[in-house]
Every structure is written in structure tokens, then in C-alpha cells.
A and B are shown apart, each in its own frame.
Chain A
Amino acid sequence: MTELPVDLEARLTAAAPAGLRLIQNTDAKGVTVLWCELADKNDLLGVAQEIKAVKGRLMTISVFQPTPPESDDDEEEDGDEKSDDGEAVPPASLGGIAIDGKSYELAYHFDLDGATLTIQVFLAADAAEVISLTPLFRNADWCERDYMENYSIHVIGHPDPRRLFLDPSIEPMALERLIPLSTLVNAASTKALWEKIISHQSDTPS
């Protein structure tokens, strides 16, 4: 199906002197997915240059704050069993950033002619800075603006760090705050439906 560049792993390894962890899976339909964790966020630009050199295309950037494995506050979760199967999040990322619920994980998804390569970078909450990929990928502009308004991450060298979808009057870090559901859905309704239900209840013998 998709022919990956033969020297892809060597290129990525050479571009990330601090170390990386690369996993490759191909599904039954021949679609390849690669996951590459970087130990040091400063290797990101070099790695991105290599991806650009093999005609990679930036698809999007996903950002989130992974929850720490054991302290699930309101979910009834048996944390001990999960951490044994290797799938669970380790207490610290590759490169030693503690997963404390405040640190960030950035996943840069690239397309390599059908295969998906995800580069994962970890940022500590007190050093939430990452370099912009806009010099390499034109479309990183909107992707970075998109996460900048949702998380308090500083993007170094972004040419146009304005708000994208959120109005400037809205508080920043929209995805780091608790937003009550009623605020989120802008809940407003008349009493008409409620009154109809109540009147129907009184009609039917209980």
C-alpha cells in the first residue's frame, strides 16, 4: 500500500539526539500508523525538518493534559490492574516529565502518503513553551492558534498569535478550566415543555 521511506527510522533517530521511542503498526488493510515519542521537546524542529524532507504533510496537532494514572478523583477505577498491562500511562513521560495532570502532551499528526506518523512531545506545566512549526508547515498557523487559546502554552515564533475561534473577551485556557454544562450549552428554555409534562401527569390516573 504505502511505501514508507526506508531510512525513516534512521532519519528520525539522527534528528532526536535526546532519544525517542518509535512504534509501528500496520492493520489488516495495510494502513501503517507510527507513534514516535520524543524525550526532549527541543528535538521537535529537527524531527519536523526530516518529515518535511520526506514530503510529510502536517495534518493537525492534538494537545491535552494526561491525567495521572492512580488518582482518578471521581471515577471508580481500579488503577493497580491497569498499570500492569503496559497500555496505561506511565507516571513520567519519556524524557522524565511528570504526568501530574498539569503537564501537556502535544501530538503532531503527519501524513506520509497514507501512513500516519504522530510525534508526541511532553511539556512540564512550568515550562510550557514549544517552537512553532509555521516556518516548515504553512498550515501549522491555524493548528497552533487553535491550541494556544485552549491551553496556556506559549508557542515560540508564531507569526500571528491571535485568537482563532474564541473571542478576545473570553478568558484563555478554555480546555483547562471547568466550564459548567449550563454555561457551555448556553442553556435557556421556556417553561412550556415542563408545564405540558406536568399537565399530562395530572391527566393520567396514577
Chain B
Amino acid sequence: MSTYTIPVGPLHVALEEPMYFKVEVSGETVVSVDITAGHVHRGVEYLLSKRTIFQNITLTERICSLCSNSHPEAYCMAIEQIAGVVVSPRGEYLRAVADEIKRIASHLFNVGIMAHLIGFESLFMHAMEIREIMQDVKETVFGNRMDIGANCIGGVRYDLDDDQRSWLLGQLDRLEPQIDELVGIYTTNRSILNRTQGIGVLSPAEAIEYAVAGPVARASGVAYDVRVKSPYTAYDKLTVEVPTRTAGDVWSRAMIRLSEVKISIGLLRRLIEDLPDGPTAPAERPEIPAGEAIAKCEAPRGELIYYVRTNGTNKPERVKWRVPSFMNWDALCTMLKGARISDIALIVNSIDPCISCTER
């Protein structure tokens, strides 16, 4: 049977950002996929080497919107290693609080968009309305709904007083039953199950071969979470549950994200209740000597790694990072093989694509 090639993207209704797939199809079935990337390449790595070490905290936050807290966090952790700065216990707990708040909002966005792609608009709006609780939390605590500016070198730039802590716990109490309801719908609704189960499969062996990260890896049986494997900030003081599934399909990835939302709510309660006293950040900016360091953190999409090299000047010599989506794109070619044309958007969304992050 003869095949022909159809374009998906670069501007596509199902993608918030531009990515161009050349999809070779035979009838209704995908035979192969070629990805042409680079539509939002901005040269941020180059720009980072032209700004000062401290200016770059603001710049790294703007690499991506949904994991905007993870970038400056990993960058600050790398600089702290070079400068020998130790973050105070309160600073570490507050960093983890910011991390988990962003994780919940990011995961809910992705599962919401999945409902939208299925055509289940009422569920999409319901999921986004639930997510709005976390958006309000961000706006109230940090003053902004996406770029929360929580991190600085040596700690955090925000603090929680007793009123804010009890208000935050109240918001989590409001959120949790709604998440339970959402999990129920995603577990039982026929429209969801029919459209998402058994499609976009990545086997456990393929997940290891492609070195995928985050919920994509965990939905294919790879129990890897940076918070557990190489703990940072306050995660060495917490027990982080790592949910895994083995089916490796679109539905499993969504369910992993929903499970992680539940786990994050639990972690947030512990962090807020056990918040130690003390300073949130050092009073003065440290001197940054020459050196190199690696820092990793678990962004909403998985392992984020930063490599920073300094030479004793006020500008970093090299900053390189790799986002979890970077490997997930290549794995997408395997997930899409044999899929129906109508499922392409759903499968692409299931890796929780982050294009600005990947192309930098």
C-alpha cells in the first residue's frame, strides 16, 4: 500500500507552541514521523553567558512557563555548590513548597488539555477550574500566576507567615476532594478510557533505551524520581512516594500525573506544618569563585539538569541545561508509530510537551 506524508504543525490547534511533524501515513495509520524543531529557539544559552550570574536567575525563570520555578532553582543550586553557600533549613523547605505548588498546577494543566483534545470540553473546563485554586495560591503567595520568582542564591525570596500557612492548608483541603473526584472521572469515564488506553505505547525497554524522564518514564515502569534518587532542598527529610505504571500508554501518563498531584498535596501539608524557623536567605550576596557544578531537580516533567562553569568573573563561562522533554521528543517517534491520525495530538500532548524548554 502506498504511503503519503502529511504535515502536523508547526502551528497546530492542539499545540500551544510550534513544532513541525512530518507524518508518513498509510491510509489512517502512521508509518513514521520526522520532527523538525527549532521554531522557538531563542539562543538563551548564549544570552546567559552575556549576563551576570545574578541577572541570570531572572532569565532562567523565563525559559519556560510551566516549569519556571525549576530552572532558577537548579541554576541557584549549581551556583551555591560553586560558592559553598549552604541554604538555611527554612529556605530549603520554602523551595520545596514552591516546587510542589508549580508541580500541581503543571500536571492539572496537562490532564485538562487531554480532556480538551478528546473533545470533552466540560471536563477540560472543570480541570482548569480546579487548577485555578493553585493559580490563586501562586498569585496570593508569590504575587504572580506563572513566574513566581521564588529563588535566589542561598535561599528564597518569599516567606510564609502563620496566617498564610493556615490559609494555604485550607486551600489544600479545598483542592483535595476535587482531585479525588477528577481521578474518579479519569478512571471510569468511557470517553476517556476509549480514547486514551492502549495508544501511544512506550514499553519499559523502550523507555530505558530512549532515557525518557518524569511521568513519561514512570508510566512505562521506570521508578526514577530525582527527589528520591538524588535528594535536594528538603526532600531528604520527606518520604516521596514514586507511583509507577507499566502500560506506558496515554492514559497511564495522565494517571501518573493525577497520582503525583495527590502526593504533592501530602508533601505540601508536611512542608507547611513542619516549616522550620530561621532566615530564608543570606543577608548578603556571596562571592562566586571559579568552579564547576552540576545540579539536578525534579521538574514537573522530570529530571532537569544544570551544568554551570564559572571563571571568577561576574558572568558565567558556560551554563548548559537539559530539560526532561528533550528525550521525550525522540521517543515520540516510537509512540506515534502505528497510531491513527486522529490520535496524533493526544499522543503528542501525553509527553506534556514543552517546546520553549527544549529548544531554548
- Could you tell me which A residues sit within 8 Å of B by CB distance? 1-2, 27, 29-31, 33, 35, 57-60, 62-64, 66-67, 72, 75, 77, 82, 85, 87-89, 107, 109, 111, 113-116, 118, 137-139, 141-143, 163-167, 174-175, 179, 181, 184-185
Contacts of A118 in B (CB 8 A): 294, 307
CB distance from B119 to the nearest CB of A (A): 33
Contacts of A85 in B (CB 8 A): 289
User: How many residue-residue contacts, CB under 8 A, span A and B?
Assistant: 114
Mask: chain B, 321-360; 1 = CB below 8 Å from A; 0 = not: 0100011011000000000000000000000000000011
Docked Cα-Cα span, A31 to B210, in Å, equals 24
Whether B232 pairs with A31 at a CB distance below 8 angstroms is yes
Indicate whether B318 reaches chain A with its CB closer than 8 angstroms: yes
Docked Cα-Cα span, A53 to B108, in Å, equals 38
Interface size class of B (residues with CB under 8 A): 35 or more
Contacts of A59 in B (CB 8 A): 211, 303, 305, 322
Whether B322 pairs with A88 at a CB distance below 8 angstroms is no
CB distance from A138 to the nearest CB of B (A): 5
Given contacts A107-B307, A142-B330, contact A88 B211 (CB under 8 A): no
Whether A138 pairs with B209 at a CB distance below 8 angstroms is yes
Whether A113 pairs with B229 at a CB distance below 8 angstroms is yes
Indicate whether B230 reaches chain A with its CB closer than 8 angstroms: yes
CB distance from B93 to the nearest CB of A (A): 14
Docked Cα-Cα span, A85 to B232, in Å, equals 28
Whether A62 pairs with B230 at a CB distance below 8 angstroms is no
CB distance from A25 to the nearest CB of B (A): 9
Contacts of A87 in B (CB 8 A): 289-291
CB distance from A102 to the nearest CB of B (A): 14
List the one stretch of B21-29, B39-47, B140-148 in contact with chain A: B39-47
Given contacts A59-B305, A165-B37, A184-B46, contact A77 B320 (CB under 8 A): no
Docked Cα-Cα span, A34 to B226, in Å, equals 17
Indicate whether B231 reaches chain A with its CB closer than 8 angstroms: yes
Given contacts A30-B236, A62-B318, contact A175 B41 (CB under 8 A): no
**Which residues between 36 and 57 of chain B lie within 8 Å of chain A, taking CB atoms?**
37-38, 41, 43, 45-47, 50
Contacts of B41 in A (CB 8 A): 165-166
CB distance from B111 to the nearest CB of A (A): 26
Docked Cα-Cα span, A109 to B230, in Å, equals 15
Docked Cα-Cα span, A194 to B289, in Å, equals 39
CB distance from A101 to the nearest CB of B (A): 11
Whether A115 pairs with B320 at a CB distance below 8 angstroms is no
Docked Cα-Cα span, A32 to B303, in Å, equals 16
Whether B326 pairs with A142 at a CB distance below 8 angstroms is yes
Look across to chain B and name the residue whose beta carbon is closest to the beta carbon of A81: B312
- B313 interface neighbour in A64, A75, A116, Cβ under 8 Å: A75
Look across to chain B and name the residue whose beta carbon is closest to the beta carbon of A69: B311
